[in-house]
A = this chain, B = another copy of it.
Amino acid sequence: MSILVDKNTRLLVQGITGREGTFHTNQMIAFGTNVVGGVVPGKGGQSFEGERGKLPIFDTVRAAAEATGANASIIFVPAKFAPEAMYEAADAGLPLVVCLTEHIPVLEMISVRAYLDQRQTRLIGPNCPGLITPGEAKVGIIPSSIVTPGTVGLVSRSGTLTYEVVFALTQRGIGQSTCVGIGGDPIKGMDFIDVLRLFEADPNTSEVIMIGEIGGNAEEQAARYIADHMTKRVTSFIAGLTAPPGRRMGHAGAIVEGKSGTAEGKIAALEAAGVQVAKNPDHIVEMIA
C-alpha cells in the first residue's frame, strides 16, 4: 500500500531518448519500476536500449497506452514541448502524469491545468523531482539510495530539501510510504491538499511530513484542510523565513508578494491547525521519532 505509484504502475517515458530521459529511465528500472515503453514522435517502432533490456518506442502516448496498458507517464521534454506532452498524456486518458520539466511559462500552465481539470488525469509537477514509493516504484529522480520502505508519507514543494529530510528519516530507520515532490511552480498539478487527502486515506501511511516554502497560499489552505479533515499527525517545515520580500527565491513560485506568502504566516496557520512546525529540517526526525 502507498499512494499514486506502486508495483501496479505501468510507466511510459515521454522523451525517453533524450539525455535525461535515458539516464533516469535506467535509474527507475534499476529501482524496480515497471517501465513499459517510451514515446518519441517519429521514432515509433524503434527500441530503447536500456541497461536492463529493450523497451518499445511509440509515436504517440495513445498508441503506447493501447499497446502496453500503461497507466502513468513521466515527461522528460524541454519546456517548449512539455505542455504538448501533458495535453497528449491527458488526452490519452492516463490517470497519472509526472512532469519534471522546469521553466514552463505560467500562462501555459494555466491552460494545461484547465485542460486537465476537465479530465481524469492527475498531474504531478511540473518542475518537480517526481515521486517514489520505496520498495515498489519510482517515477522521477528522487535518489533511490536515500529511501527505505515504511509508513511516513512525505509531500514537498522542494527537491533537495526533500531529499535532506527523507535521507535523515532513512538514516534513523524511519521508512516512508510514498514521497511526493509536487514542485515549486505557482501553477501546478496536485497541491498539498490533494496529496494529504490521499495520505489520509492510505492505510499504510501512519503520519505525514509536509515541507513547504514561501509564496502562494497552498500551505495556509493545507492548514485548513488538516484542521478539518486529517486524523493523522502532520509535521512540517517551511523554508524561507529569511527570504526578502519581492525577490523570487529560485522557484517561480517562491516569492513573498506584499504581505502574502510569508513563512511566518504559513507557520502560524499550520501551528493553529495543530501541526508541529520544525525550525530546522534536521529536527523533524526527532519530532516524529
Interface residues of A, Cβ cutoff 8 Å to B: 114, 117-118
Query: What are the 3 A-B residue pairs with the smallest beta carbon separation, nearest first?
Result: A117-B118, A118-B118, A114-B118
B residues less than 8 Å from A118 (CB atoms): 114, 117-118
As for how many copies of this chain the complex holds, the number is 2
B residues less than 8 Å from A114 (CB atoms): 118
CB distance from A23 to the nearest CB of B (A): 38
A114 to B119, CA, bound (A): 11
A222 to B118, CA, bound (A): 22
Which residue from chain B places its CB closest to the CB of A114 in the assembled complex?
B118
Which residue from chain B places its CB closest to the CB of A117 in the assembled complex?
B118
CB distance from A21 to the nearest CB of B (A): 33
B residues less than 8 Å from A117 (CB atoms): 118
A114 to B114, CA, bound (A): 11
3 contacts between A and B (CB under 8 A): A114-B118, A117-B118, A118-B118
CB distance from A9 to the nearest CB of B (A): 29
CB distance from A2 to the nearest CB of B (A): 31
A114 to B117, CA, bound (A): 11
A118 to B118, CA, bound (A): 7
A117 to B119, CA, bound (A): 11
A117 to B118, CA, bound (A): 8
CB distance from A123 to the nearest CB of B (A): 16
CB distance from A276 to the nearest CB of B (A): 36
